[in-house]
């Protein structure tokens, strides 16, 4: 159930902050292997539909005034469209990704090459991690996921690189295998999350850190509604996440629904397609 709000919380003004993001066109998107529960290679995918849906997301960001940069897709790397997994960037330092599954492992060097070409300070990872899929910056704190993809020892590596507090959260539901499928960062102090994706300890931590967090329904999480991207006011979400949309409006945000149903078949949504570049 949604959190009960005070009048002041409902009317809190929200401020949009222009974002710089990295995306990758899904020109080679398909599902021909299975590394998460969303993927069913026996069911044909429609690459052209995926491109059209992705283009709507791209156009939405441009319309919001975002600086949208592009990394070239690579034939044979169908999941490269999920740019969030390609690294984690704060203060011009790009911590590279090192993927769990061999099918995605070439993506790590491809994204690090792009970061270098754009003059980021690239840190080659020593530990398995899947970038912003499992590292979310909330104000000055980094929330870090583990349990399915990123190794917990990557959390200490990130803490050392960025000199910030890192809070480890263990994921327990294989359908929400990355942190960004179970938590949405709304601004520097607010998040939304799905309690059933976490251990009891993780829930206690989230309740302590974010007592006023939005609580997502299972139905909205099941369409990757939490896999969203916010500029502090505008929140781009899955168009089918209707209760999440309602809660966001109640809190003074402006939800914008997009349909990425074809890309959902690979296990990704809005946030998965979006890597924030913090210079």
Across the chain, what does the average pLDDT equal?
95
Which member of 24, 155, 178, 273 is catalytic? 178
C-alpha 210/C-alpha 200 separation (Å) is: 15
Chain segment 62-82, per-residue pLDDT in tens: 999 999 999 999 999 999 999
- DSSP result, 147-210: SSSS-THHHHHHHHHHTSEEEEEEB--TTS-SGGGTEEE-SSS-EEE-GGGB-HHHHHHHHHH-
Domain positions in the chain: 16-276
Catalytic residue among 24, 40, 155, 272: 272
pTM attached to this predicted model: 0.94
178 is catalytic: yes
**What does the alpha-carbon distance between residue 221 and residue 225 come to, in Å, rounded to a whole number?**
5
Residue 172 CA to its chain's centroid (Å): 17
Q: Is the pLDDT of residue 38 over 90?
A: no
Per-residue confidence at 12, pLDDT binned at 50, 70, 90?
confident
Cα separation, 160 vs 245, whole angstroms: 37
In the annotation, is 272 catalytic? yes
Query: Tokens 């005070």 label which residue?
Result: 6
* pLDDT tens digits, 99-158: 999 999 999 999 999 999 999 999 999 999 999 999 999 999 999 999 999 999 999 999
Both tokens assigned to 183: 């938590």
Residue range 225-242, pLDDT digits in tens: 999 999 999 999 999 999
CATH among 3.75.10.10, 1.10.150.20, 1.10.10.10, 1.20.120.550 for 16-276: 3.75.10.10
Q: What per-residue confidence (pLDDT) applies to 2?
A: 43
């Amino acid at each position: 159930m949604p959190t009960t709000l005070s009048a002041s919380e409902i009317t809190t003004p929200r401020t949009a902050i222009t974002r710089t993001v990295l995306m990758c066109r899904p020109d080679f998107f398909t599902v021909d292997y299975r590394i998460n529960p969303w993927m069913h290679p026996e069911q044909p995918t429609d690459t052209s539909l995926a491109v059209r849906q992705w283009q709507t997301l791209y156009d939405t960001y441009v319309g919001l005034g975002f600086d949208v940069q592009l990394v070239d897709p690579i034939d044979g790397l169908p999941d490269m469209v999920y740019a969030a997994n390609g690294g984690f960037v704060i203060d011009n330092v790009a911590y590279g990704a090192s993927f769990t599954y061999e099918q995605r492992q070439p993506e790590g060097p491809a994204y690090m090459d792009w970061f270098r070409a754009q003059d980021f300070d690239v840190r080659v990872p020593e530990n398995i991690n899947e970038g912003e899929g499992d590292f979310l910056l909330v104000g000055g704190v980094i929330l870090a996921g583990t349990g399915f993809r990123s190794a917990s020892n990557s959390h200490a590596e990130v803490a050392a690189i960025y000199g910030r507090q890192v809070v480890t959260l263990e994921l327990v539901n294989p359908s929400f295998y990355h942190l960004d499928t179970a938590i949405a960062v709304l601004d520097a102090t607010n998040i939304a999350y799905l309690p059933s994706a976490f251990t009891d300890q993780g829930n206690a931590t989230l309740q302590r850190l974010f007592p006023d967090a939005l609580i997502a329904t299972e139905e909205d999480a099941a369409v990757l509604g939490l896999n969203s991207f916010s500029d502090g006011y505008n929140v781009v979400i899955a168009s089918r996440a209707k209760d999440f949309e309602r809660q966001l409006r109640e809190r003074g945000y402006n939800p914008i629904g997009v349909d990425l149903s074809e890309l959902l078949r690979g296990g990704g949504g809005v946030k998965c397609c979006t890597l924030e570049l913090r210079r």
